[in-house]
């Protein structure tokens, strides 16, 4: 599939901005603050023991997820982490048992909340990731669609008066952005009713 030159240029700009933003962040504080905000979110959604949430293991420069993932596990929430496949689709494994066999691409079919990475999100709910389309593909397997929240650094939610992010038909919209400063509900689509704890 040919790369969209507009997206490519915007992504390069967003990566440069992220490098600058990440260099100025207190990672340990952000880790703690993000965990607190995600904890408040799962409380609001009524998620607890037996619920299933996707997250990811952050890499340097991304908003940290170590405490987020630990906090979810402490609450008895099953945390699914992605495995990027050669075709840029996603398989999944249980964070509590990283040595087990992958769970398969359809493991996300009945998750209660998606915490996703990204470089930026705009106020229409368009998310820009790293360019592989992994999450756009994976989220098509969720039924019903769970709330989808992108973890960003403060300053990575595109300002209302800035140019919106380029969007293609296959791009999946998101519901909210969560940073170390808190949750921004974009009001795009209603939050899914929680399926409740098992």
**pLDDT tens-digit readout, 69-84:** 999 999 999 999 999 9
Assess whether pLDDT exceeds 50 at residue 86.
yes
The 8 Å CB, 24+ separation contacts for 174-177 are: 174/116, 174/118, 174/121, 174/125, 174/126, 174/127, 174/148, 174/149, 174/150, 175/125, 175/147, 175/148, 175/149, 176/147, 176/148, 176/149, 176/150, 177/121, 177/149, 177/150, 177/151, 177/152
Domains of the chain, CATH where assigned: 5-185 (3.40.50.10420)
pLDDT band at 197 (very low <50, low <70, confident <90, very high): very low
Assess whether pLDDT exceeds 90 at residue 89.
yes
pLDDT band at 144 (very low <50, low <70, confident <90, very high): confident
Give the predicted TM-score (pTM) of the model.
0.91
pLDDT of residue 51: 97
Q: What's the mean pLDDT when you consider all of the chain? A: 90
**pLDDT tens-digit readout, 99-113:** 889 999 999 999 999
pLDDT of residue 171: 78
pLDDT of residue 190: 60
**pLDDT tens-digit readout, 108-128:** 999 999 999 999 999 999 999
What is the rounded end-to-end Cα distance, in angstroms, of the chain?
42
Mean pLDDT over 12-32 rounds to 96
Torsion angle of the four alpha carbons 20, 120, 44, 74, in this order, in degrees rounded to the nearest 10: -60
């Amino acid at each position: 599939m040919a790369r969209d030159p507009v997206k490519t240029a915007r992504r390069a700009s967003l990566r440069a901005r992220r490098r600058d933003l990440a260099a100025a962040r207190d990672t340990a504080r952000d880790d703690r603050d993000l965990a607190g905000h995600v904890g408040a979110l799962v409380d609001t959604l009524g998620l607890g023991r037996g619920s299933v949430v996707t997250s990811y293991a952050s890499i340097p420069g991304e908003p940290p997820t170590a405490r987020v993932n630990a906090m979810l596990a402490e609450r008895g929430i099953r945390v699914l982490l992605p495995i990027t496949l050669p075709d840029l689709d996603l398989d999944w494994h249980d964070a509590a048992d990283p040595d087990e066999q992958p769970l398969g691409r359809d493991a996300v079919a009945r998750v209660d909340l998606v915490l996703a990475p990204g470089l930026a999100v705009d106020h229409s709910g368009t998310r820009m990731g790293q360019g592989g389309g992994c999450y756009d593909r994976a989220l098509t397997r969720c039924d019903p669609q769970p709330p989808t929240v992108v973890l960003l650094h403060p300053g990575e939610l595109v300002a209302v008066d800035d140019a919106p992010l380029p969007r293609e038909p296959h791009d999946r919209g998101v519901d909210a952005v969560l940073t170390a400063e808190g949750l921004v509900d974009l009001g795009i689509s209603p939050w899914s009713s929680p399926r409740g704890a098992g």
